[in-house]
Structure 1
């Protein structure tokens, strides 16, 4: 683009009617005007962008709102080879765009189309920067089609959203790994609808979020299609491929419940899987009707080190259900933790990653409450222990609503005790402060008011103040942002020991 003024300057010099000095002045003027116009209109160079998240500054992209993703995966029959993928994104621009940035890494890009026309692209950092033939005006429809690969081999280093199982693959995208699987706007503030198609060789089965929307059989392969009926954050996408079986049962109100388990473990897992409908009913009694079209457990034969609330199909390690040292009340409460996330974190997603305390705090709260009501484990005792460790957690990872940034290359680095039991402790303090009836109304109102959307800490503080009938800003500021844990309402004898002092809890 910067070379375009030169031919114009030469044409200006050749004007036959101008005197010699006039031709020189005209040439200089034309060159200056052309350079200025070109500089004003030239698009900025390709660069990684972000939506300004404090913890993940390069995640997400400004300038457009994604409406839907259509993902078509082709699994080659080995979890050590790249999948071929076609990702189609339907969006609407929210500003004029010369480039469209997508979050993407760990894949090879073959081609990109914008609104069905070939487009230039380059990779900068962990962004795929797409340049359409013409700039996109604000408010225009945008369709991007990317043909690429998705590489699961980096899963061993913890840098990929893919997790290799004994017989295939599952996804674990939280917090910043969905873009290592497919091009996307990888931030929970931009939720969208999903259609997922997966083809795999015979002997394998593929499942994804949402409900089945078709199955096509070929000579040596099968293709499955799934669609969500509610918007979803990219970090909650689930695509599971393996030698598995799908079990069906009914939940409350006829809710379809489907579980995906290794074929060999179907019998031994049934005693756990059969508990899900009752757990859903228990959660509905606390916060209202289940917010999605289906639910179930995906049990992976892999050492994950975590469980994950992927929307409508929570991911669990097989070992959670098969290791004898885990007591029944503990396994039950972990199941409820991921189930509670379907309301807190999935239906109502965090607006920024600093709002994670709302999601993990509530999931931990209902985990602990279920353990008390159904397993005889005292909530007060758990919260007293958490209070004792709270100052240490704050020192190590920041206060609940201002967690420290993760270390480079650690996608789960923000998942520290301060956003689990530390955040549940905030909820316990709030219940002590405003009383149980108001607290329970708040939880129901929160998931109802923000269903299928995103919300943050300020929204929670405002709603809590409205329901309590008084300003709670000082309360929340101390509990969510203080470096030291405030006194616990109703329990003046509880003590939290700072790190470095005798009796300090290990972090």
Structure 2
């Protein structure tokens, strides 16, 4: 996830001054859904996007547990001069339950036309929800198509984070640039979405921009046809790690580990200081692969945008050029490692609900700190001291990471405190066994949603030891465990 400067500065300061019970959920079914009312439509081709949506305990107003979106087809056109986004979103949906209507998250844009299975329908937007009053039947997939236009606007984030004031979702800059940061939600500001991590879907996105502009998005870069840029995701994507950015980019390509293609979208002049760090991505990914196994996707890369944050958007990281001062290039590299680590933890294995955000942020934070420790030649004792000191401060200020509050989304306790827990687990197992555990967690639970119970069961089975008390204590204790 994107990181606040305060969290990273704390880690950098301490390390620098010191020395410089249920089983894991099964994989989504690959069985083809039942025949659709849309004659001739084979929904089986999107079976990899099948999910088991749930209602979120922290934010029940977002998402719809009654719908499973299998695939998003997005045809978008951005006109920088008028700041108008025109879109046609085609959603292949598997209803989980019978319902009198289709309800999705959507706000700020005007709906022009709606069809269900090719037939005209109505759609209204009320209280950040698109409501289409067409009945659906459980396990009888439907195709919803929505045409819309307007100028996207960001929405509020339920957090006190330092980077929360500018909002989340799609943002149109005065320059005509377009970009998004969207956790725990924000996709709803540029296409109709089921805004919950438990509903992951496949994507095909085509974005048309004027000459002189480029569009960068999540997924695998496809052909550029005229001024239309294509991106495809054949691994399921949670809406919060989808992304789109349009700017007067220069595209830089590089070969990564085992021939993997890396792509960076940079703004000439503005991003020159960051490009050398981006070019270190092959070494960063190799460093992670030695500890976590092969990078889980066919391509990687990063786009630079106008945010003050960074984000683990799938296959194409979103890196804000305002995240840190240009002189802090070492920190920028550490954040890159953090976001690349998320491709294993958060993207490949995604939290089932926002209550278990620690499950992705803790791992990404811990591997970032291990990278920083190695780069700065800090000792294990110094890392331990930092983690315990920061952990104690954050538990007192925000609370334990396993019991987050709705109004403090993704604050520093869900980064540092679970990272401290993972260090205790690492110390107990040793590096070889710990890295084998982390590798197996991402590999064996690929493209699934997981929670605390699943993680504990996996750890205990993988290690042959009972770590339930250690994990629960570090997640729930109001004070740093002894």
Q: TM-score range by the shorter chain?
A: 0.7 to 0.9
Q: Indicate if the aligned counterparts of 1:111 and 1:147 stay in contact, CA closer than 8 A.
A: yes
> Structure 2: 5+ residue runs without aligned partners?
1-52, 157-164
Indicate which of 232, 235, 238 corresponds to 1:230.
235
1:153 Cα deviation from its structure 2 partner: 4.2
Query: Taking CA–CA contacts closer than 8 Å with sequence separation of 6 or more, which of the two structures ends up with the larger relative contact order?
Result: 2
Distance 2:397 2:191 in 1: 33
Q: Does 1:430 align with 2:425?
A: yes
SS at match of 1:447: helix
Please tell me whether the aligned partners of residues 155 and 164 of structure 1 are also in contact (alpha carbons under 8 angstroms): no
The alignment status of 1:289 with 2:294, answered yes or no, reads: yes
1:43-54 matches, within 5 Å, as: 51-54=54-57
Matched, 1:88 2:93: no
1:203, 1:243 within 8 Å by CA — same for their partners in 2?
Answer: yes
1:505 corresponding residue in structure 2: none
Is it true that 1:403 corresponds to 2:408 in the alignment? no
Work out whether residues 207 and 239 of structure 1, in 8 Å CA contact, stay in contact via their aligned partners in 2: yes
In 2, the alpha carbon distance for the partners of 1:264 and 1:323 equals 12
Do the aligned partners of residues 378 and 307 (structure 1) sit closer, same or farther apart at CA in structure 2, a change above 3 Å counting? farther
Residue 214 of structure 1, CA deviation: 3.1
Whole-Å separation in 1 of the counterparts to 2:116 and 2:272: 49
Cα deviation 1:384-434 (Å, max 9, x = unaligned): 22312323322332211211112xxxxxx4121111111211111222334
Out of 122, 127, 130, the residue aligned to residue 128 of structure 1 is 130
- Residue among 93, 98, 108 paired with 2:110: 108
**1:214-256 C-alpha deviation (Å, 9 max, x unpaired):** 3332xxxx22221112111111111110100111110011100
Distance 1:59 1:397 in 2: 23
Q: Is the alpha carbon distance of 1:453 and 1:245 closer, same or farther for their aligned partners in structure 2, counting shifts above 3 Å?
A: same
Looking at structure 2, the residues matched to 177 and 54 of structure 1 have their Cα atoms a distance apart, in angstroms, of 18
| Structure-2 separation of matches of 1:129 and 1:462 | 40
Which residues in structure 2 correspond to 1:113-192 (within 5 Å)?
A: 113-132=115-134, 135-154=135-154, 158-165=166-173, 166=175, 168-192=177-201
1:216 counterpart (220, 225, 249)? 225
The alpha-carbon distance between structure 1 residues 160 and 480, as it changes in their structure 2 partners (threshold 3 A), is closer
Q: 1:260 is matched with which residue?
A: 265
How do 1:261-280 and structure 2 match up within 5 A? Answer: 261-265=266-270, 267-280=272-285
In structure 2, the residue matched to 1:25 is none
Shift in Å, 1:127: 1.4
Q: 1:267 to 1:482 in 2, by over 3 A?
A: closer
- Tell me by how many angstroms 1:371 deviates: 1.1
Report the counterpart of residue 76 of structure 1 in structure 2.
79
Using the alignment, how far apart are the partners of 1:294 and 1:214 within structure 2? 14
Aligned to 1:230, the other structure's residue is in SS state strand
1:67 partnered with 2:31: no
For residues 76-120 of structure 1, what are the alpha-carbon distances to aligned partners after superposition, in whole Å with 9 as ceiling and x for unaligned?
123x73311111100212221211110111111122211111123
**Structure 1 range deviating more: 469-478 or 264-273:** 264-273
- Paired with 2:373 and 2:104, the residues of 1 have a C-alpha distance of 45
Task: Give deviations 1:116-139, integer Å, cap 9, x for gaps.
Answer: 11123333322111111xx32221
Q: 1:98 & 1:121 partners in 2: Cα distance?
A: 13
Q: Measured at CA, do residues 244 and 63 of structure 1 come closer, stay the same or move farther in structure 2, by a change above 3 Å? A: same
| Number of the residue aligned with 1:19 | none
**What is the alpha-carbon distance in structure 1 between the residues aligned to residue 333 and residue 229 of structure 2?**
31
Displacement of 1:378: 3.7
Gaps of 5+ in 1: 1-49, 407-412, 488-507
Specify the alignment match of 1:352 in structure 2: 353
1:320: how far off?
5.3
Q: Compare 163-172 and 188-197 and name the one that shifted more.
A: 163-172
Indicate if the aligned counterparts of 1:88 and 1:146 stay in contact, CA closer than 8 A: yes
Alpha-carbon distance between aligned partners in 2 of 1:363 and 1:429, rounded to the nearest angstrom: 16
Q: Which residue of 2 aligns with 1:331?
A: 332
Distance 1:321 1:479, change over 3 A: closer
Tell me the equivalent position of 1:45: none
Match of 2:33 in 1: none
- Describe the shift of the 1:162–1:471 C-alpha distance in structure 2 as closer, same or farther (beyond 3 A): same
DSSP 3-state at the match of 2:362: helix
> Structure 1 residues 223 and 448, CA, compared in 2 at 3 Å: closer, same or farther?
same
Tell me the equivalent position of 1:373.
374
Per-residue CA deviations over 1:350-380 (Å, capped at 9, x if unaligned) read 1111111111111111111111223323454
Q: For structure 1, which segment, 173-182 or 252-261, has the greater mean C-alpha deviation from structure 2 after superposition?
A: 173-182
Counterpart CA distance in 2 for 1:179 and 1:472 is 39
Note the 1:339-488 alignment, pairs <5 A: 339-406=340-407, 413-487=408-482
Per-residue deviation at 1:163?
3.2
Distance 2:452 2:119 in 1: 42
Taking a change above 3 Å as real, the CA distance of residues 159 and 149 of structure 1, as seen in their structure-2 partners, is: farther
